[in-house]
Structure 1
Amino acid sequence: MSSIARDSGMRLAERVRRHIAEERVEATPGALISAVRHEAEASVLGDTAVLRMAGRVRDQLVGAGPLAPLLSDPSVTDILVNGGEVWVDRGRGLERSTVDVGGPDDVRRLAQRLTAACGRRLDDGLPYADARLPDGTRVHAVLPPIATSGPYLSLRTFRQRPYTVADLVECGTIPPAVAPVLEAIVAARLAYLVTGGTGAGKTTLLATLLGLVPPTERIVLVEDAAELRPVHPHVVALQARTSNVEGAGAVTLTDLVRQALRMRPDRLVIGECRGAEIADLLTALNTGHDGGAGTLHANTPADVPARLEALGMLGGLPRAALHAQVNAALQVIVQVRRRTQGRVLDSIGVLYPMGEDRRTTVVPVWQRGRGTGPGTATLSRLLTERGVPVPPILGARR
């Protein structure tokens, strides 16, 4: 959009805003169309033109403004605004966008409008906010002077489309020979964590694997922000809540895990393990709740034990107790990675106690580019003990 067109749209949006305020009506689609006709003197225009103008004005008033086209692009996963620059990620890494968001004041107004729509405060007194739009898009904003060359605005889009294992095989995320291994892990009710860096596709893969859970089982999801949408007939979702402006009313993941245990879960799933709730999850998995799952930030599978140690300490678990709990509760680590060609399954490993102190170690079962590893025997044994056939690749160690 050219700067002239953008300025014209901003002026029209301001006139429509005043008109809506003077008429004291809600900014519904019908009210916006009526206001656009009135303020733009567009009654001689066709309905299509008026609807298009009303859509643009709505984006300026209550929507994402100039970022709306990017949010509607199904290939875009992240939108990052640095002052007046816009960067997007379409699964191939960040690239500069030609979208014009205006100057710092325009970005500030956009950030405040988006966060206010989610009931969050963003101003000089609280110059940062983390919010979630009604369509599921995650919004994070930081204002100057905290943002030295800002404002900064980060949006993580939420796509409603669910994926199947076949979809991920077709797009190259999962090698065809490895897909049966993931299916066997779910069928055997082994507890697993999907690990990886930010934006590596952890949530997408976890939701896909949850779609393999038999329809006779009940899945209870516990999430900081509702993102998982598995294709399954019996899913119950719980979402954490931050405190209000008075600092009250917070509901933490730890609170939700304890509530979930009273809801008869066949599969207890934590969308992202990031704090003291890991202690409650491990306790739950050690008391008869097989097949649990979650995601965890970790750069490599070897980093997972240390990451679990750090989180366990937040929950009051000493190191020795944490490793004992992990060894009994979790069996599999599924690592994903973001590469230039897209997001891929990078490795599968099993958790195994090593040494006299029985410290948890991740032993490779399969690694991209390297094939199967020493963990195949352990995973094969776990599958056999639970009556699940061992996939052919696990008997083809190289």
Structure 2
Amino acid sequence: MRRAAIEPGLLDEVRTRLGTGPAARTGAGPDEADVADALRASGRVLGSDALRDLTRAARAELTGAGPLQPLLELPGVTDVLVNGPQEVWVDRGAGLERTAVDLGTPAAVRALAVRLAAVAGQRLDDAAPVVDGMLPDGTRLHAVVEPVAPAGAVVSLRVLRQAAFTLDALAAHGAVPRAWAGLLRALVAGRANVLISGGTGTGKTTLLAALLGLVPADERVVTVEEARELAPEHPHVVHLAARRANVEGAGAVGLTDLVRAALRMRPDRLVVGECRGAEVREVLLAMNTGHDGGLATLHANAVEHVPARLEALAALAGMPRDAVAAQAAAAVDVVLHVRRERGRRFVAEVGVAGRRDPGELEVRAAARWDGRAAAPQVADAVAWARLEGRWGPW
């Protein structure tokens, strides 16, 4: 997939014109029409096809991912990874594939990483060699440069899905067994507090968005995320995203502060895109103080490992183990574990939270699915009976 090349001189001219245009005065980024107008104003004679191609090329260089933009636009791409000038990889759902994209030299890769960081409103240099941000189109950016990355620069881009999958669509794609579709609907309708666990890239956010699409339209959903990824099909969603400190080290707004703020915004559903730190204390407290129907995700290898993960995160907030067990056992109803195998993402386990003894939390796998069998299997009859007794019939 080739994109029209744009001369450096013309690109500089377009950048200068955009810098004095309406978009710059209002603080908005240039859209495709702004870039096309700047190209026409350059005085060059361009046909309609050439203008369209150069407009896309210029916009990719100015506000997009430059030579990586065509990869981000490929159907099904979830990640674009750059390990070096000739090491560019993509993930289209079936594992990583090496591409033929050549970025030139290590210096060129570093320059691209620095420019992407600037587009995301971040700083990337020797003094601040790690950056995590978001491009204007919602693409998640993570980049590191020397001395952290001896290769010069390493860039990771994660594509924001513009269209959310519905639960029916996930079932049709084999990501959810049809036998569990009724259960998931019952959990949302019954205002169960649900945790979605899994590894990186297993589809936690995709499943979360599908569940939010089942929330009644007259309920207010407030989401809290480190970087905005959720795009549920729901008419009343308020998005809150964390903010990193500026170059002076001021202005940071963390997830803990956002969870507290969300609770003051009259949420019918509190949703945390991913629990990865001390904010888990606020989430558990919220679920224990009348904010039922909450949903959150966290990293874990299986439903049985969720207690250890919660304990580790809550320890960052100074919570002792017995307090975590007491809060989590009363707050969390069900854990849905998602897995990725051979390029397929699917809900692999349904777990039920409880207490093994007064000071220990446990999550028991009630049922499991390998992603291929016609129907999932009950793994623990007692735990499955608890599910059916509380949330059934479905």
When normalised by structure 1's length, the TM-score is: 0.89
Give the alignment partner of residue 326 of structure 2, picking from 324, 327, 342: 324
User: Is 1:382–2:390 an aligned residue pair?
Assistant: yes
Q: Is the 8 A contact 2:321 2:359 kept in 1?
A: no
Q: How far off is 1:20 after superposition? A: 4.7
Give the alignment partner of residue 372 of structure 1, picking from 366, 371, 378: 378
Q: How far off is 1:326 after superposition? A: 0.4
User: Is 1:278–2:284 an aligned residue pair?
Assistant: no
Q: How far off is 1:19 after superposition? A: 6.5
Q: Is the 8 A contact 1:13 1:57 kept in 2?
A: no
Q: For the residues of structure 1 that align with 2:50 and 2:117, how far apart are their CA atoms?
A: 30
Q: How far off is 1:136 after superposition? A: 1.0
Q: Which residue of 2 aligns with 1:200?
A: 202
Q: For the residues of structure 1 that align with 2:199 and 2:71, how far apart are their CA atoms?
A: 23
User: Is 1:33–2:39 an aligned residue pair?
Assistant: yes
1:199-230 residue CA offsets vs partner (Å, 9 max, x unmatched): 11000100100111112221111111111111
Q: How far off is 1:338 after superposition? A: 1.2
Partner-residue secondary structure (3-state), 2:179? coil
Give the alignment partner of residue 310 of structure 2, picking from 304, 308, 311: 308
Q: Which residue of 2 aligns with 1:258?
A: 260
Q: Is the 8 A contact 2:14 2:42 kept in 1?
A: no
Q: Is the 8 A contact 2:79 2:159 kept in 1?
A: yes
Letter in 2 for 1:246: E
Q: Which residue of 2 aligns with 1:396?
A: none
What percent of counterpart residues are identical?
50
User: Is 1:66–2:61 an aligned residue pair?
Assistant: no
Letter in 1 for 2:91: D
Q: Which residue of 1 aligns with 2:24?
A: none
Q: For the residues of structure 2 that align with 1:50 and 1:379, how far apart are their CA atoms?
A: 60
User: Which ranges of structure 2 fall in alignment gaps of 5 or more residues?
Assistant: 22-29, 371-375
Q: For the residues of structure 1 that align with 2:15 and 2:245, how far apart are their CA atoms?
A: 32
Q: For the residues of structure 2 that align with 1:293 and 1:50, how far apart are their CA atoms?
A: 46
Inter-CA distance 320–72: structure 2 relative to 1 (3 Å threshold): same
Q: Is the 8 A contact 1:192 1:292 kept in 2?
A: yes
Q: For the residues of structure 1 that align with 2:302 and 2:17, how far apart are their CA atoms?
A: 58
Inter-CA distance 23–119: structure 2 relative to 1 (3 Å threshold): closer
Q: Which residue of 1 aligns with 2:292?
A: 290
Give the alignment partner of residue 150 of structure 1, picking from 145, 149, 152: 152
Partner-residue secondary structure (3-state), 1:178? helix
When normalised by structure 2's length, the TM-score is: 0.90
Q: Is the 8 A contact 1:13 1:60 kept in 2?
A: no
Letter in 2 for 1:71: L
Q: Is the 8 A contact 2:171 2:181 kept in 1?
A: yes
Q: Which residue of 2 aligns with 1:76?
A: 77
Q: For the residues of structure 2 that align with 1:131 and 1:23, how far apart are their CA atoms?
A: 23
Inter-CA distance 186–31: structure 2 relative to 1 (3 Å threshold): same
Q: For the residues of structure 2 that align with 1:302 and 1:316, how far apart are their CA atoms?
A: 23
Q: Is the 8 A contact 2:36 2:55 kept in 1?
A: no
Q: For the residues of structure 2 that align with 1:155 and 1:309, how far apart are their CA atoms?
A: 30
Q: How far off is 1:353 after superposition? A: 0.9
Partner-residue secondary structure (3-state), 1:81? strand
Q: Which residue of 1 aligns with 2:229?
A: 227
Inter-CA distance 278–48: structure 2 relative to 1 (3 Å threshold): same
Q: How far off is 1:348 after superposition? A: 0.6
Partner-residue secondary structure (3-state), 2:363? strand
User: Is 1:56–2:45 an aligned residue pair?
Assistant: no
Partner-residue secondary structure (3-state), 1:135? coil
Q: Is the 8 A contact 1:217 1:266 kept in 2?
A: yes
1:42-97 residue CA offsets vs partner (Å, 9 max, x unmatched): x2x52212321232233234321111111112310000001111001111111111
Q: Is the 8 A contact 2:18 2:38 kept in 1?
A: no
Letter in 2 for 1:55: R
Q: How far off is 1:130 after superposition? A: 0.7
Inter-CA distance 288–34: structure 2 relative to 1 (3 Å threshold): same
Inter-CA distance 150–290: structure 2 relative to 1 (3 Å threshold): same
Q: Is the 8 A contact 1:74 1:159 kept in 2?
A: no
Q: For the residues of structure 2 that align with 1:74 and 1:193, how far apart are their CA atoms?
A: 30
Q: How far off is 1:37 after superposition? A: 5.1
Letter in 2 for 1:295: T
4+ residue runs over 6 A deviation: none
Q: Is the 8 A contact 2:332 2:353 kept in 1?
A: yes
Partner-residue secondary structure (3-state), 1:361? strand
Aligned counterparts, 1:84-103, within 5 A: 84=85, 85-103=87-105
Q: For the residues of structure 2 that align with 1:37 and 1:300, how far apart are their CA atoms?
A: 61
Q: Is the 8 A contact 2:337 2:349 kept in 1?
A: yes
Letter in 2 for 1:105: A
Partner-residue secondary structure (3-state), 1:220? strand
Q: For the residues of structure 1 that align with 2:132 and 2:36, how far apart are their CA atoms?
A: 31
Inter-CA distance 31–25: structure 2 relative to 1 (3 Å threshold): farther
